[in-house]
Structure 1
Amino acid sequence: MMLVELTAPALEALPVAGLRDHLRLGTGFDMAEDTAETAALAGFLRAAIATIEARTGKVLLARQFRLRLEEWRDPMEQPLPLAPVSAIERIEMTNAAGAVTLVDPASYRLIPDMQRPMLAPVGAFLPNIPVSGHATVTFSAGFGTTWQAVPPDLAQAVLLLAARYHEDRSYEGTHSAMPFGVSALIERWRAVRVLGGRGNSRGRA
């Protein structure tokens, strides 16, 4: 499978002010300094969010993703690799010649779940994927569009990790370390990863 993130969290949704307060930083002396500091803090937050999401499989801020599959894991239900999923936007089938066909939305449904959301058929089976072709599932996932929608423990984990990135920004390789406090906060959200195909994982792009 191949999972692609189509949209990114807006700057306005990131808790830049919260991170600035957490770090006890003052405001810049002029607009240029404030702009540069905001950009830097947003970068640390995006890195922290990406790390927390990778460790938990949970999408903190709502955005859109595209999942490509060469075959269904099970024609009666297809696990989705992220949670929580709010909507299946569309499913497209691409045949060996590259022709794309939109699948009728009435033929499938979303089974929401905080750990293992599923794409399921309305009838007996999901639509057949063309031989030497693939299915593309576009879906929306995330707790919400604002930072207030993120569960408090995950939100705190992001601030702690972003603060560590800020403090260690002059050192090589520190972004791979996960502070104990952060690990403790995200532990209950961690889930066993589920492959999108029958052992045919092609990574995330």
Structure 2
Amino acid sequence: MELVDLTTTPAEALPLTAFKAHLRLGSGFADDSLQDDLLAGYLRATLAAIEARTGKVLFERVLQWRLSRWAEAGHQPLPVAPVTAITSVALRNAEGGVSEVAVALYGLERDTHRPRLFAKGATLPAITHDGEAVVSMTAGFGPSWDDIPADLQQAVLLLAAHYYEHRSETNGAVRAMPFGVVSLLESYRNIRVLGARS
């Protein structure tokens, strides 16, 4: 299985102003934007770390997921949330031939933690031996910073500040997420319990 970003978060969507305010950086000076690239780098690293820990896509992006078999004949849990649209499903055979699956044959079941692709008939289209399914989807809370829930915004700012403030350390302390960040992320983690659906 492979999940690939087909789009990236544009630089103008990153909360640079909010991050500078959080860091209490001075403003009104000629060199206000001197650290913008550095700060943007910490924000992008933070977004990636939080998305990896929670399985939640923060800024809206288009993703492509490739898999060699369905989890169940009639449905397939998706690897991230929230998913707002399935833009296409295609089947690729071992020889590289690709066939699009008709939109009428599948749908999206939205869920905060575990959205699913489901068959509108009895089963999802069969994936051939040594073939794969390619699912393209739009995922994320929205295209702007204001679309992201407030507690996740706070986690982003806290973790990015942690990276920024420990940027010169070489002892590995920066790798651990601060307790406050972990607490904010806890409710967004996808916890699997015995008997929960796939």
TM-score tier, shorter chain, comes to over 0.9
* Residue 85 of structure 1, CA deviation: 0.1
Residue 163 (str. 1) matches residue 161 (str. 2)? yes
| Secondary structure of the structure 2 residue equivalent to 1:54 | helix
Deviations 1:101-128 (A, max 9, x none): 1111111000000010000011110011
Query: What is the aligned-residue identity percentage?
Result: 51
Structure 2 match to 1:80: 78
Task: Kindly report which structure 2 residues correspond to 1:78-117, keeping only aligned pairs within 5 A, or say none.
Answer: 78-117=76-115
* Residue 39 of structure 1, CA deviation: 1.0
CA contact (8 A) 1:66 1:138 kept: yes
Task: Kindly report which structure 2 residues correspond to 1:1-205, keeping only aligned pairs within 5 A, or say none.
Answer: 1-27=1-27, 29-30=29-30, 33-172=31-170, 173-192=172-191
Question: What letter is aligned with 1:187?
Answer: E
Separation in 2 of the partners of 1:55 and 1:28?
Answer: 37
Question: What letter is aligned with 1:118?
Answer: R
Separation in 2 of the partners of 1:157 and 1:20?
Answer: 15
Separation in 2 of the partners of 1:95 and 1:35?
Answer: 50
CA contact (8 A) 1:165 1:174 kept: no
| Secondary structure of the structure 2 residue equivalent to 1:93 | strand
Separation in 2 of the partners of 1:49 and 1:130?
Answer: 36
Alignment RMSD, CA only?
1.4
Which of the pair has the greater relative contact order for Cα pairs under 8 Å at 6+ separation?
1
Structure 2 unmatched runs, 5+: 193-198
| Secondary structure of the structure 1 residue equivalent to 2:35 | helix
Separation in 2 of the partners of 1:96 and 1:184?
Answer: 45
* Residue 174 of structure 1, CA deviation: 3.8
* Residue 34 of structure 1, CA deviation: 3.9
Structure 1 unmatched runs, 5+: 194-205
Deviations 1:32-51 (A, max 9, x none): x4444111111111111111
| Secondary structure of the structure 1 residue equivalent to 2:129 | coil
Deviations 1:130-181 (A, max 9, x none): 2211110010100011100101101000000000111011113344210000
